[in-house]
Structure 1
Amino acid sequence: MHDADVLVFATPVYYYSVSGQFKTMLDRANPLFGTDYAFTKAYLLATAAENEAATVEGTVKAVQSWVDCFDRCELAETIFAGGVSSVGDIAGHPALEQAYQSGKEV
C-alpha cells in the first residue's frame, strides 16, 4: 500500500458498515501514517443486499475517516452495487460498468 499510486478497497456492507476483515486491514495499515506514502487517491467498491442509497453511508464514512488521516489522499469515488443478495444478482448490474469506466481512468 505504501508505494501504490492508487488504493482500491472492496467490501461487502455488513450492518451498514465495512466488514470486520476490512476494518482489521485498515487498522493494520496504521503504520503508514506519518510515512512518505505514495497513494493520492482511494476508491471504494461496496456491495449489499439492500439497494437504498443510505445503505452504504456508514461504509463510506468508515473509509473516509481512514482516508482523512492521509493529507495527500482523497476518496475519489465510491461505487455501490446494491440489491445483490443471491448468486447471479451482480450480472448486468450498472455498478460493473461504472467500475470498469473508472478503472480505465486510473
Structure 2
Amino acid sequence: MQYCIGCLSCIKSGCCVLKDDVADIMEKVKEAEIIVYATPIYYYEMCGQMKTLLDRLNPLYNSDYAFRDIYMIATAAEDEESAFEKAYNGLQGWVDYFEKAELKGIVTGAGIGDANDAINHKEVMKRANELGKNL
C-alpha cells in the first residue's frame, strides 16, 4: 500500500491515481454494511497503516457506499483506557465525513504489548468475540 499523495483527484474521479491493491480493498469496504477496523496503538494513536488506509479510501466519499456501522478493535501496551482515545477520535473524524455511517464502539485491549499476547487476555478476547457475534 502506497501513501496517499494528497492530490484529491480521487474525489472527482472516484479512484486513486496510485495503482495497487487498495482498489480491491476499497471495493470490499464500499460494499460492506459493517466495518471493523483493528489497530495496535502507537504513541496514543492508530497505526500508520490504518491511517494510510483511511486516507486512501477518500474516493468512497462521493460514492454510494453501503457501510453504516463502524467499530474499532485496538490493543495497547499501556494499561490505561485513555491510551485509546486519540485513535478512536481519529477514526471518528473519518466516519464524520460519511453521513450515513456511525462509529458504534470500540473493544480495547489494554496491557497487550507483545505479538500473540492477546490470547492471554481472556476478557478482551471475550469482548471481541461478543462484538463479532452481535454484528
**1:24 is matched with which residue: 31, 52, 57?**
52
The residue aligned with 2:113 is 85
Normalising by structure 2, report the TM-score: 0.75
> What's the RMSD between the two structures over aligned residues?
1.1
Structure 1 window deviating more from structure 2 (8-17 vs 88-97): it is: 88-97
**2:126 is matched with which residue: 71, 85, 97?**
97
Task: Find out whether 1:47 has 2:75 as its counterpart.
Answer: yes
Task: Find out whether 1:58 has 2:58 as its counterpart.
Answer: no
- After TM superposition, give the deviation of residue 85 of structure 1 in Å: 1.7
CA distance in 1, matches of 2:119, 2:128: 13
Residue 86 of structure 1 aligns to a residue whose secondary structure is coil
Task: Find out whether 1:3 has 2:5 as its counterpart.
Answer: no
Q: For structure 1, list consecutive stretches of 5 or more residues without a partner in the other structure.
A: none
The number of residues matched between the two structures is: 106
Structure 1 segments, 4+ long, off by >6 Å, are: none
CA distance in 2, matches of 1:72, 1:86: 36
Higher helix share: 2
Give % identity: 41
Contact 1:50–1:82 (8 Å) recurs in 2: yes
Normalising by structure 1, report the TM-score: 0.94
Higher relative contact order (CA 8 A, sep 6+): 1
- After TM superposition, give the deviation of residue 88 of structure 1 in Å: 5.0
Task: Find out whether 1:36 has 2:64 as its counterpart.
Answer: yes
What code does the residue aligned with 2:108 have?
F
The residue aligned with 2:96 is 68
CA distance in 2, matches of 1:24, 1:88: 24
Residue 79 of structure 2 aligns to a residue whose secondary structure is coil
